[in-house]
Amino acid sequence: MKKFRNNLFGSLLSISTFFVCTAQRKTVEQKVDSVLRLMTLDEKIGQMNQYNGDWDATGPITKDGDKQNQIRKGMLGSMLNVTGVEHTRQLQEIAMESRLKIPLLFGQDIIHGYRTIFPIPLAEASSWDTATIRLSARIAATEAAAAGVQWTFAPMVDIARDPRWGRVMEGAGEDPYLGSAIAAARVRGFQGKGLGNTDALMACAKHFAAYGAAIGGRDYNSVDMSDRTLFEIYLPPFQAAVDAGAATLMNSFNDLNGVPATGNRFLQRDILKGNWKFKGFVVSDWGSIGEMINHGFAKDGYEAALEAVTAGSDMDMESRSYINNLSRLVKEGKVKIQLIDDAVRRILRKKFEMGLFDDPFKFCNKEREQRQWNNAENLRAEKMIAEKSVVLLKNENHLLPLNKQTKTIALVGPFVKAVRDNLGFWSYSWPDDTVRIVTQFQGIENKLGTNARLLYAKGCEINDSSQAGFAEAIEAAKRADVVIMSLGEASDWSGEAKSRSNIHLPGVQEELVKAVSMTGKPVVVLINAGRPLIFNWTADHVAAILYTWWLGTEAGDAIADILFGDYNPSAKLPISFPRTEGQIPIYYNHFNTGRPATSDSDRFYRSAYIDLSIYPKFPFGFGLSYAEFTYSNIHLSSSSMRANQPIKATVTVTNTGNYDGEETVQLYIQDLVGSVVRPVKELKGFQKIFLKKGESKQVSFTIDIDKLKFYNSQLKYQAEPGDFKIYIGGNSRDLQEAPFSLK
């Protein structure tokens, strides 16, 4: 490394060397300006151009077979999906042969880990533990940055109220408050102590905006929503990401009220770069500039480039609309050079902040890459985070935790010995996956050693109609003291372009649960999935259910810890679980309507279905523990508050169970009368507390004016005097309440 740098800087009297020597005392802005002044129009447009490297493609790749030459000519600002130090270095070396030697930026989807794979983001969100989530992003950044990556296309901060949407797995669920806290944590985790450090990745909050509201949950679909819903539900996590210092944003595939996000000036110019004063740059989603032709918003690449650049899309990912059309647009006076300069300035600013002009190879260090390759500490952290992500949905008669002395255990189901399925979508596959990933079978075997006899039967495939394996599963169950069944959807059934109309447990898996349950043996079910699934029979008949999502490299050990009581589950659902697809969208922070449905016994002539409960199967915020928590004595420091006089809400939480445990105490507020109708409740705070068995704690939340604000019909963010209710509890349904007013 050192040798190379000496050669490079010693032998080339380059313009970048000139920058290094003379620009040291300059501010980043001055440095950017001095580069910009030297650039031709084509070189500027080159900075706005991004191509895919050699890895997976999530969209059509435009091939001209001449990427390297374009890099040499300064026609490329960034690449995605180039992996490994060696390859990154090769391409960066070519960039150093270009006239101005402007370094390339290398981006990749580091969504939930790079080498060590962490739980899928929706699973991590279930931890409601921002410090833990930040740590996961921190480790992912450290590993990826050691392998040449400088920029992650994460976090995805799209709110999602529709579990049919495959990309629900990538976000933090349905709630803007929780989503914002997690968005900020992830940005801080990825960016670490700040851009310029060799273990920091630039974050990219995506997909701006409202992508998660695709109609019908169909990926890439249109979005149609009021500005108030946009501001209140879908934009807050983006704003939180920007406030946390996100270096970049990615726009989205969808149109919003008829205008594709990529060509949307309101979103990108007015809100993001205007109101929010965002100084980073916006990258398009894969090909989304060119896709405006399909949308019917642009006639051809020329118009698409015009719309996108005018709207504030700074970098074109893989559509080649900019590289092929911007120059002509400028020459014909359709696009002012100031627009181009603004975009290029934003991109160069980040390259300077990353320190790439000082050392374009700072992320290419083979030793660092190797050090991160098998980092045992990272694996330990992954297990800890995985444990915090598992939601205990049911535990009748305290079936869990299981006794480690149990003699014979039947392990049944298509996920017991699954390997890569433990990782979930958006994870990298490495040749040694089979050795590194701890399967659930191995995890249990590691835990119990020779103490127990483990009987294994697959029972059925994930999505097959054959019941041929049932007999073996039943036989194993009969011989066992307890049955652990591991079920779910395949890991590539959620993720991009993985929307599903049917989100029931697939194939004959629920039939298998019925057949095994008929043995009368106690059954514990693990559900592996990238979204809320529907499994009503299982939920109603089986004694214990753990929703494990996709937990990552250490899945098996983490699950074994929970099953056998070495970790007491503490996670809470970040999204409501529907009873049927017909109930979607179902979310806790809905409006009351003029005919509110308030109970299942009173749902006629109400805002409800006549053939279905008004409740989700499992509500937002729900999750059990081996401990039991009771809430009492909610009280307020005053029953009225003023704008400058916050009040305090306090509740007593007692661990009345037989285990020490962690609880997430949730605060919701309802504004009873507003100039526009307000949700029945909105999450406005949460705290995680640890209680020993028998212990009580008072938990307090400060209610200040900011917690009461909302967007009125003029989109002004303000609080209105009047009556409110506070709710505190362990999920969005079982709550203690107290009234107060804002004077």
Q: Nearer to ligand BGC by C-beta: 39 or 209?
A: 209
Residues 79-108 within binding reach of ligand BGC (CB under 6 A): 80
Site string for ligand BGC, 43-82 (x = CB under 6 A): ---------------xx--------------------x--
Q: Measure Cα distances from 65 to 70, 89, 110, 322 in Å.
A: 10, 20, 26, 18
Minimal distance, residue 115 CB to ligand BGC, in Å: 18
Q: How far apart are CA 180 and CA 716, in angstroms?
A: 20
- Tell me the C-alpha distance between 508 and 257, whole Å: 40
Q: Decide: is 286 part of the binding site for ligand BGC (CB under 6 A).
A: yes
Buried b / exposed e across 332-358, counting CB within 10 Å, b at 16+? eebbeeebbeebbbbbbbbbbbbbbbe
- In 3-state terms, the chain is what percent helix, strand and coil (to 5)? 35, 20, 45
Q: How many residues bind ligand BGC (CB under 6 A)?
A: 9
Name the minimum Å distance from CB 315 to ligand BGC.
12
Binding mask 139-178 for ligand BGC (x = CB under 6 A): --------------x-------------------------
**Minimum distance from CB of 117 to ligand BGC (Å)?**
17
Q: In one letter, which amino acid is 131?
A: A
Concatenate the DSSP letters of all residues of 618-639 into one string. B-TT--B-SS-EEEEEEEES-S
DSSP string, 313-359: --BEES--HHHHHHHHHHHTTSS-HHHHHHHHHHHHHHHHHTTTTT-
Is 285 annotated in the active site?
A: yes
For residue 160, the 8-state DSSP code is -
Q: Say whether residue 114 binds ligand BGC (CB under 6 A).
A: no
Query: At closest approach, how far in Å is the CB of 286 from ligand BGC?
Result: 4
Burial of residue 504 (CB within 10 Å: 0-12, 13-18, 19+) is: middle
Rounded least distance, CB 171 to ligand BGC, Å = 11
- Nearest approach in angstroms of CB 80 to ligand BGC is 6
Q: Which is nearer to ligand BGC, 262 or 732 (CB)?
A: 262
Query: If we measure between CA atoms, which residue out of 84, 100, 55, 49 comes closest to residue 70?
Result: 49
Q: Which is nearer to ligand BGC, 44 or 206 (CB)?
A: 206
Contact 656, 676 (CB under 8 A): no
Which 495-514 positions form the footprint of ligand BGC (CB under 6 A)?
A: 496
Question: Rounded to 5 degrees, what are φ and ψ at 459?
Answer: 85, -55
Q: Given the complex with ligand BGC, which of 58 and 116 has the nearer CB atom?
A: 58
Q: Which is nearer to ligand BGC, 156 or 608 (CB)?
A: 156
Residue 60 DSSP SS3: coil
- Residue 208 in contact with ligand BGC, rule: CB under 6 A: no
Written as one string, the DSSP assignment of 612-623 is: S-SS-SB-TT--
Q: Which is nearer to ligand BGC, 221 or 467 (CB)?
A: 221
Footprint of ligand BGC on residues 646-675 (CB under 6 A)?
none
Applying CB under 6 A, among 124, 158, 285, 353 the residue interacting with ligand BGC is 285
* 731 contact partners, CB below 8 Å, separation of at least 6: 572, 573, 619, 620, 621, 622, 623, 666
Question: Which one is catalytic: 285, 316, 561, 671?
Answer: 285
Closest distance between ligand BGC and the C-beta of residue 156, in Å? 7
Site for ligand BGC contains 206 (CB under 6 A): yes
Residue 109 in the binding site for ligand BGC (CB under 6 A): yes
| Positive or negative torsion for Cα 614, 616, 621, 627 | positive
- Of residues 554-573, which lie at the interface with ligand BGC (CB under 6 A)? none
Tokens found for residue 714? 């003029």
Residue (80 or 742) nearer to ligand BGC, CB: 80
What are the catalytic residues?
A: 285
Binding site for ligand BGC (CB under 6 A): 58-59, 80, 109, 153, 206, 285-286, 496
